[in-house]
């Protein structure tokens, strides 16, 4: 096979990506992108790149998002021209708002074939608008070179300053890559060594004095840094369940109620915010108070500024000084009274061993009732939380269940993910698949669990399709199935819309047989209705992909 300018340029570009730390590439097949695809497979065969193939570009985009979520390193996404590019937009928007690095390598027609009605050609340059940190329409190989594009793209995706971009904030970068025929050829053998992703120069942290009555609020993607700041400052920690910061001595249980109480929430003078708080209106109302001093550690593409006077910071450190022990004690005392314990009572050993038939019968009945106790939302989220450990990963979908979890679950240091940048249900399973692939690479242990509702599951059902030649990740997709979108029960529309309109336009009831979907896509299936059965399936060693359906009341 002879070479071609397209093949040479594609191989050089991907080699440069590898040299600058990129280890994962997600590929959707297509004609115009064939040189990029063949180059990617070539480097994968040399163990220099992990290639993940997905037939659906929307699934591919969210799979890349999950890989980058877990690794913190840009993942490349390759697709062909036309509507394939547009299908990446939901994942690009989520990456922008969450501050996640992505590299979008979109194949295109050359300039002379644009705007004249040529097949599969549209206006791709600039398609992602303000949702990318930079966008470049590359020259056609032969007219110009692609060398140097990868180095700049990786640096910008990681948060290096760029014109019109966001210093120190990671995000997506778009490289639009036009080629002329021949679209592929022999892939040149390029010597390349895997490199390390460059880190941008960080600004000096903002020093936080201890003085005012302060709370630390940890939203999605806050991470362990929020717990560390709360500990250093001896401040209450209001940590959403998706924050990755719900652990330690300072966490506040029942925070929604306490934020509404004048004796606690009403006395807050300052809030330090990490991540993106999205799960409670109480936190949003607090951060919108114009009399409140808010310092928000920047994570995503938009600054948090609900009160019009919030100060942004790249990072913060706590100054030395005496702690306000009375303030912290007031919060922790109130918090202790609101902690939820959903564990079963210990067996009545004396009753079970009693020689009195009535006593023994009552003890046995109590134990049987516990074993047969039907699952509700609280017991479901509690079981999944208890089964998950630091070597696992937990992904929450934007369903009713994540709000239940936020209200009842206690502290535990586990890696948590959620697409809360825009709080949508797009791509939940695909994102979790990327997280699983990244966290289980190189033989690492652990299971990735996905907890979501039935509509979020159905919205991303195409992500269940995985190539047979890729290592199946250890995953448990736990579907709380109440037959429709009951998350709308808690919104204004539930009180204003006629019941029939509410059911048709919002709840969208369905009769999908999830077991049949699992069979079609080659996933192991379990249907569980009791806590004991759920505990058993969650704690049995996982060797592949499982769908666990939990029927729930409407």
* Average pLDDT score, the chain: 92
The pLDDT value recorded for residue 113 is 82
Do 171 and 24 belong together in one domain? Answer: yes
Least confident among 39-48, 313-322, 478-487: 478-487
In a domain, residue 244? The reply is yes
CA dist list (Å): 261 to 1, 211, 264, 478: 74, 22, 6, 35
Contact 454, 482 (CB under 8 A): yes
The pLDDT value recorded for residue 213 is 97
In a domain, residue 327? The reply is yes
Instruction: Kindly tell me if the per-residue pLDDT of 359 is higher than 80.
Output: no
Strand locations in 211-345 (E): 214-218, 237-239, 270-274, 293-297, 311-313, 316-318
| End-of-domain residue from the set 158, 178, 198 | 178
Residue 519: domain span: 377-551
Do 159 and 237 belong together in one domain? Answer: no
Do 27 and 163 belong together in one domain? Answer: yes
Instruction: Kindly tell me if the per-residue pLDDT of 30 is higher than 80.
Output: yes
Q: What is the domain count for the chain?
A: 3
Contact 312, 231 (CB under 8 A): no
- Residue 37: CB partners within 8 Å, gap ≥ 6? 27, 29, 30, 78
Global confidence as pTM:
0.94
The order of strands in the sheet holding 293-297 is 237-239, 214-218, 270-274, 293-297, 311-313
What pLDDT digit, counting tens, does each position of 522-537 carry?
999 999 999 999 999 9
- Residue 493: CB partners within 8 Å, gap ≥ 6? 502, 506
Do 296 and 398 belong together in one domain? Answer: no
What pLDDT digit, counting tens, does each position of 410-420 carry?
999 999 999 99
Do 502 and 415 belong together in one domain? Answer: yes
515: three-class secondary structure by DSSP: helix
- Secondary-structure breakdown of the chain: helix, strand, coil percentages, each rounded to the nearest 5: 40, 15, 45
The pLDDT value recorded for residue 348 is 67
Instruction: Kindly tell me if the per-residue pLDDT of 166 is higher than 70.
Output: no
The pLDDT value recorded for residue 115 is 84
The pLDDT value recorded for residue 346 is 64
Q: Which two tokens stand for residue 79?
A: 């697709």
Average of per-residue pLDDT across 386-400: 96
What pLDDT digit, counting tens, does each position of 250-307 carry?
999 999 999 999 999 999 999 999 999 999 999 999 999 999 999 999 889 899 999 9
Burial class (CB in 10 A: 0-12, 13-18, 19+), 76: buried
Buried b vs exposed e over 132-156: b needs ≥16 C-beta within 10 Å? bbbbbbbbbbeeeebeebbebbbbb
Contact 447, 542 (CB under 8 A): yes
| End-of-domain residue from the set 178, 197, 227 | 178
Q: At what angle do helices 357-371 and 531-539 cross, to 10 degrees?
A: 60
Do 530 and 403 belong together in one domain? Answer: yes
What pLDDT digit, counting tens, does each position of 215-246 carry?
999 999 999 999 999 999 999 999 999 999 99
Do 159 and 220 belong together in one domain? Answer: no
pLDDT grade for 370, boundaries at 50, 70 and 90: low
Do 397 and 495 belong together in one domain? Answer: yes
Question: Domain containing 488 — which CATH number?
Answer: 3.40.50.970
Do 53 and 133 belong together in one domain? Answer: yes
Task: Give the closest residue to 440 by CA, choosing from 87, 96, 70.
Answer: 70
In a domain, residue 345? The reply is no
In a domain, residue 540? The reply is yes
In a domain, residue 231? The reply is yes
Contact 57, 105 (CB under 8 A): no
Do 157 and 210 belong together in one domain? Answer: no
Question: Domain containing 326 — which CATH number?
Answer: 3.40.50.1220
In the chain, % of residues over pLDDT 70: 94
Instruction: Kindly tell me if the per-residue pLDDT of 399 is higher than 70.
Output: yes
CA distance 525 to 538: 12
In a domain, residue 346? The reply is no
Place of tokens 């303000």: 130
Which phi and psi angles does 431 have, rounded to 5°? -60, -45
Contact 245, 223 (CB under 8 A): yes
The pLDDT value recorded for residue 367 is 65
Do 97 and 216 belong together in one domain? Answer: no
Instruction: Kindly tell me if the per-residue pLDDT of 379 is higher than 80.
Output: yes
Do 170 and 235 belong together in one domain? Answer: no
In a domain, residue 131? The reply is yes
In a domain, residue 152? The reply is yes
| End-of-domain residue from the set 313, 338, 363 | 338
């Amino acid at each position: 096979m002879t070479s071609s300018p397209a093949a040479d340029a594609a191989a050089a570009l991907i080699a440069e990506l590898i040299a600058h730390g990129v280890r994962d590439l997600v590929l959707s097949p297509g004609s115009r992108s064939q040189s990029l695809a063949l180059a990617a497979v070539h480097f994968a065969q040399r163990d220099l790149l992990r290639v993940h193939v997905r037939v659906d570009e929307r699934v591919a985009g969210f799979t890349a998002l999950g890989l980058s979520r877990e690794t913190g390193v840009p993942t490349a996404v390759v697709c062909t021209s036309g509507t394939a590019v547009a299908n990446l937009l939901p994942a690009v928007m989520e990456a922008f708002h969450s501050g996640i690095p992505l590299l979008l390598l979109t194949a295109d027609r050359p300039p002379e074939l644009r705007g004249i009605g040529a097949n599969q050609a549209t206006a791709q340059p600039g398609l992602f608008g303000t949702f990318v940190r930079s966008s470049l329409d590359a020259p056609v190989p032969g007219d110009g070179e692609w060398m140097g594009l990868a180095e700049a793209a990786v640096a910008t995706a990681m948060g290096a300053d760029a014109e019109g971009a966001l210093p120190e904030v990671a995000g997506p970068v778009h490289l639009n890559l036009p080629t002329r025929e021949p679209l592929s050829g022999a892939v040149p053998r390029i010597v390349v060594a895997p490199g390390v992703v460059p880190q941008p120069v960080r600004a000096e942290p903002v020093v936080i004095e201890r003085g005012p009555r302060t709370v630390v609020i940890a939203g999605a993607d806050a991470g362990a840094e929020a717990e560390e700041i709360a500990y250093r400052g001896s401040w209450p920690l209001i940590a959403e369940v998706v924050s990755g910061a719900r652990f330690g001595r300072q966490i506040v249980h029942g925070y929604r109620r306490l934020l509404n109480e004048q004796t606690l929430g009403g006395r807050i003078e300052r809030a330090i915010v990490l991540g993106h708080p999205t799960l409670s209106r109480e936190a949003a109302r607090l951060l919108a108070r114009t009399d409140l001093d808010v310092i928000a550690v920047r994570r995503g593409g938009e600054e948090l500024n609900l009160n019009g006077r919030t100060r942004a910071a790249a990072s913060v450190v706590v100054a030395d000084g005496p702690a306000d022990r009375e303030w912290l004690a007031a919060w922790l005392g109130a918090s202790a009274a609101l902690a939820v314990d959903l564990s079963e009572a210990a067996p009545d050993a004396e009753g079970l061993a009693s020689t009195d038939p009535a006593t023994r019968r009552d003890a046995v009945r109590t134990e049987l009732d516990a074993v047969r106790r039907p699952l509700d939302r609280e017991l479901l989220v509690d079981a999944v939380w208890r089964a998950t450990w630091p070597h696992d990963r937990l992904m929450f979908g934007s369903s009713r269940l994540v709000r239940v979890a936020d209200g009842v679950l206690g502290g535990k240091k586990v890696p948590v993910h959620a697409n809360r940048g825009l709080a949508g249900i797009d791509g939940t399973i695909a994102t979790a698949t990327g997280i699983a692939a990244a966290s289980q690479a190189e033989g690492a242990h652990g299971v990735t669990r996905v907890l979501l509702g039935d509509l979020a599951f159905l919205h991303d059902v195409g992500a269940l399709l995985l190539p047979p030649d890729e290592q199946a990740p250890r995953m448990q997709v736990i579907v709380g199935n109440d037959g429709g979108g009951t998350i709308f029960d808690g919104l204004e529309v539930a009180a204003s819309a006629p019941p029939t309109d509410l059911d048709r336009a919002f709840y969208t009831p369905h009769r999908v047989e999830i077991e049949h979907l699992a069979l079609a896509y080659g996933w192991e299936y379990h249907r569980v209705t009791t806590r004991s059965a759920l505990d058993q399936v969650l704690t049995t060693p996982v060797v592949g992909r499982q769908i666990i359906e939990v029927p729930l009341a409407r």
